[in-house]
Homo-oligomer: A and B are copies of this chain.
Amino acid sequence: MAGDLSQTVRALVFDVFGTVVDWRTCVAREAAPFLARHGLAVEPEAFADAWRREYVPAMAEVRSGRRGFVRLDVLHRENLVRALAGLGADVARIPGAELDALNLAWHRLDPWPDSREGLQRLKQRFIIAPLSNGNIRLMVDIAKRAGLPWDAILGAEVVRDYKPSPAVYLQTAEILGLAPAELCLVAAHNGDLAAARACGLSTAFVARPREHGPAQSTDLAAEQDWDVVAADFGELAQRFGC
């Protein structure tokens, strides 16, 4: 199937958090000194999980239309306060500048070991771009630090809506001047791919079984017959003839 697909597809767009970068390890690393300084008795990885748990409900406010579009940096900052309060921290006593600085942890996420080289190979033949809920500056900072060779930064902030709203997938195809099937979403999350497929996009699953740490129980394998299923970005590039 990838043989035909590499003829149909013109651009690959990527989920980023979990698919391209390892957010959990990196947020934990960035948060550890902060947690120690404030005497918060929580494992850094558990703190990263707590912060991330606020992500979907915060975006749901925007997706539902109850709240106008605000970029993810703003939601992350609000979610940080919520996560800290949930751990019993007296957030009002923490200087705002310290919270602002910690919020930039999301701008310093490392890629999985195979991400960069796989993207470099795919870029030779396809347009490649993030299709992330992360905002443009956040994506730029990650890419510059990690050397990710995106052709453009697409996603939530360009469309002003959050995945899995259909508009994010469909408007991205339209911006690229492509029919939905000519655009392939690459993601480590079956739910993201299902939403993209419902819009007519092509789909590629790359397993990231440690995204949520050693005890991960979700998204360990493809749950539908995605157009491509690959173990890493190297195999993904190979399947697309790169």
Which A residues form the contact surface with B (CB < 8 A)? 73, 127, 135-137, 139-140, 143-144, 150-154, 157-158, 175-177
Contact = CB atoms under 8 A, between A and B. Distances in A.
25 contacts: A73-B177, A127-B140, A127-B144, A135-B175, A136-B152, A136-B154, A136-B158, A136-B175, A136-B176, A137-B175, A137-B176, A137-B177, A139-B152, A140-B151, A140-B152, A140-B176, A143-B151, A144-B151, A150-B152, A151-B153, A152-B152, A152-B153, A153-B153, A157-B175, A158-B158
Given A137-B175, A140-B176, A158-B158, 17 more contacts: A73-B177, A127-B140, A136-B152, A136-B154, A136-B158, A136-B175, A136-B176, A137-B176, A137-B177, A139-B152, A140-B151, A140-B152, A143-B151, A144-B151, A150-B152, A151-B153, A152-B153
A22 B135 CA distance: 32
A76 B157 CA distance: 26
A144 B125 CA distance: 10
Nearest to A143: B151
A96 B164 CA distance: 36
A143 B153 CA distance: 13
Contacts of A177: 73, 137
Contacts of A143: 151
Nearest to A129: B140
A73, A140, A143 interface centre (most CB from chain B within 10 Å) = A140
A136 B176 CA distance: 7
Nearest to A144: B151
A71 to B, nearest CB: 8
A154 B152 CA distance: 9
A150 B143 CA distance: 11
Contacts of A157: 175
Contacts of A127: 140, 144
A143 B123 CA distance: 12
